[in-house]
Structure 1
C-alpha cells in the first residue's frame, strides 16, 4: 500500500484458521523461476490478489488464492515475505497473514493468521520468528512461526513500516508518529527486542535496502497543504554516520529502493534511476518508459515495474538491465510488491 493515510480502529486478537484446499490449485504450478506479484486492491473492497509469473514465459498463474478457495485474498495486499518454502502475504486492512506452501509442485494455501485490528505492514524473519511491523500496535509483533503464537511486542512509539534483519540486528523505519504526523527515525534493535540505537533520517522513512554495510532509506512525507515531498538517506552501519538529502516538494519519486550490481536505484518517474553519491537522482539513466511507475523490483537480470489506474486489470512490465521491454502481464488492481522464489525442478 503506497497511500499511507489509512485510519483503522484497533481491536487486537489472534486466531488461526487452517484452510482446506476445496478448489483446484493445478492452475498454479511452480516453475524454476517464480515471481510473485501482490496486487493491493482498492481500500475497503477486499479485492487484493496474488499472481505468479516466470519472466521467460508468457503465461501467468492467478489469482492464486481465489483459484484455491473461491474467496477474496483480503483488503489491501501490503507485502510478501518468503522464508525457505513458505510464502507469507500480509493484508493490511483485513489484518491477516495468508501462508502458502511452496514445497510441492504447486503453490498451496495452508493457513490464515488473523491479527485482528493490528494493521500489519511488513515482516522480517530470524530463527523461526516473524517480526511484523504493525501500525495499530505502534510496534513490532514477534510471532513464533512454528506454532503461530505471539511471543512479544516491541514498542517503537510510532508507526513502523519496513523491517530488515542484518548482522544480528533488526532495522525498522518509523514512518509516522502516533498522531500520524511524519516521523524521521530508523531504529536499530537487538534480536532480543531491546532498542540499540535510533537514527534520524529524512522525514517519512519507508523502504530500505542494505549494500556494502550501508543502509539506504527512501522517504516520502506530506506538507501542510498535502504536497508530496521526498528524500533519501544512508546510514553507515560500521561508523553509524548518517547522511541525508531532503529533496523537497516533488511528485517524481516512488517509494521503492532496489540494489542492482552494486548500485542503488529508486523508483522515479516512469521507471527506476540510480542514486548519486550525494543522494540525488541520476535522471539521465532511467530504466523503464512507463507513464508513472507505481512499484518496482529487480531480481537477477530483470527489472519489474507496475503501472496502475487503480482499476483492474493493471499491468506489470519486465525489462532487462539494458532497458529493453521483455514481457508484460495483466494482473489485478494496483500491483504493489514482488517476491522471488527459485525452485529446483527435476
Structure 2
C-alpha cells in the first residue's frame, strides 16, 4: 500500500511538473513588438512645401501595404520632406528636411516618443555612435561655411549645445564603432570629401578626397568603407565621371576605380560580399574583390529613385512623376526576375528593413 501511494504521488507530481513546464514554454514565447515588426519601412519625401511626407509599412512579399502609418498611429501629419530614417535600438529617427525636425517613434508601433525641432537647419541623414546621435545639416545650401553636424543626447532625445563644423554639403553618414564617416556632395554645388569624425572628442580627425559628388557608402565585414561618387553632371559645364573607392578605415588608404566621363552611378548597395549600383536605368553588380567595373548590366529598363539589396533580393523604389504615387518592386537576383510590385505614396526614397 505504501509503495502504491508513493507511485501515485510521483505520478501526480510528474503531471504538475509537465503542466508547469508546458506553461513556461508558452509564456516564454516572444511577444510581438508591434504591428510594424518584421517588414519594410519606406520613407516618402512627399511634395516639397506641402507637408505630406509619410512612411509606409510593406510586408516582405509586398502583399501587405499600409501607407501613412505615422499619421494613422499618432493622428498628426508627419511633416515636410522625409529625407531619411535611422534606427537606434527600438527607436526610429525620421529626419524631416524642410520641417527642420526629427520625429522619434517606436520603430515597431510607430507611437511618437519625441520631436526634435530646434537646432536643425536643412537636416539630411543620421547615424549613432558613442551613445549619441549625429545629424548632417546643410544649413543654407548656397552658403559654404555654415554646414555642421548636430549632436543628439539619446537619453533625452534633445540636441546638445555641441555642433561639429564640416565642409560644404554633408549628406550620408555611417558609423563604425566610435568613428563617423560623412560624405559631402556639396549642397547646391559639388564636393569630393569624406569627413572622418571622432565620436569621443566630437571633432573632425581627418578628411579624405574621393570622387566628385559622393552619393552613397557601405561598410563591409572587414571594416572597409566603400564610397560611390556620381561625378559632376554635364550641366555644371565641367562634367566628370563617377568613381568607386575602397577606404581602409585603419589607415585611410584608398584604392579607386574610375567610370567613364559621362557615367554617373548612384545607390551603392552591398550584400554578401557583392557590390551593386544603379546607373542610367540599369543595375550592375561586381564582387568586392574585383578591380574592374562590370561590362554588362544585371537588370535594365528601370527608373529607381532609391535602391538596396538584402539576401539576394533587390528592392527599388520608383518616384514615377514625383506627383502621383510611387512604387516598390523586388527582383530575385539569382534569376534577375521581377518578383513583386506594390503601390506606395508620393516620392518614395528610403528603404529600411525592420
Q: TM-score range by the shorter chain?
A: 0.7 to 0.9
* 1:242–1:158 CA distance, 2 compared to 1 (3 A): same
Tell me, yes or no, if the aligned pair for 1:270 and 1:290 is still in contact at 8 Å. Answer: yes
Matches within 5 A, 1:291-330: 291-308=302-319, 309-322=321-334, 323-330=336-343
Deviation at 1:165, TM superposition (A): 1.0
Q: 1:335 to 1:271 in 2, by over 3 A?
A: farther
Aligned to 1:82: 87
SS at match of 1:336: strand
In structure 2, the residue matched to 1:95 is: 100
Matches within 5 A, 1:1-346: 29-31=35-37, 33-56=38-61, 58-102=63-107, 106-115=109-118, 118-136=121-139, 137-151=146-160, 152-176=162-186, 180-191=188-199, 192-211=201-220, 212-220=222-230, 221-223=232-234, 224-225=236-237, 229-250=241-262, 253=265, 255-275=266-286, 281-287=293-299, 289-308=300-319, 309-322=321-334, 323-341=336-354
Alpha-carbon separation, structure 2, partners of 1:252 and 1:158: 21
Q: Secondary structure at the match of 1:67?
A: helix
Whole-Å Cα distance in 2 between the matches of residues 307 and 283 of structure 1? 25
CA distance in 2, matches of 1:40, 1:311: 11
Distance 1:66 1:226, change over 3 A: farther
Q: Distance in 2 between matches of 1:335 and 1:144?
A: 29
What is the Cα deviation at residue 281 of structure 1?
A: 4.0
Give the stretch that moved more between structures: 79-88 or 230-239.
Answer: 230-239
User: What's the offset of the Cα at 1:53?
Assistant: 0.9
Gapped runs of 5+ residues in structure 2? 1-33, 140-145
Q: Which has the higher contact order (CA 8 A, sep 6+)?
A: 1
Output the CA distance in 1 between the equivalents of 2:118 and 2:324. 27
- Work out the CA distance in 1 between the residues paired with 2:177 and 2:65: 37
Length-normalised TM-score, structure 1: 0.80
What's the offset of the Cα at 1:116?
A: 5.8
Q: Is residue 331–residue 339 contact of structure 2 (8 Å, CA) maintained in 1? A: yes
Paired with 1:199 and 1:333, the residues of 2 have a C-alpha distance of 36
Verify the 8 A CA contact 2:193 2:209 in the aligned structure 1.
Answer: yes
Query: SS of 1:65's equivalent?
Result: helix
Measured in 2, the distance between the counterparts of 1:261 and 1:246 equals 23
Contact 2:101 2:116 in 1 (8 A): yes
> Which is richer in strand?
1
TM-superposed deviation, 1:319: 1.8
Offset of residue 100 of structure 1: 1.3
Distance across 1 between alignment mates of 2:73 and 2:63 = 22
SS at match of 1:332: strand
Comparing both structures, which one devotes a greater share of its residues to helix? 2
> How far 1:148 moved relative to its partner?
2.4
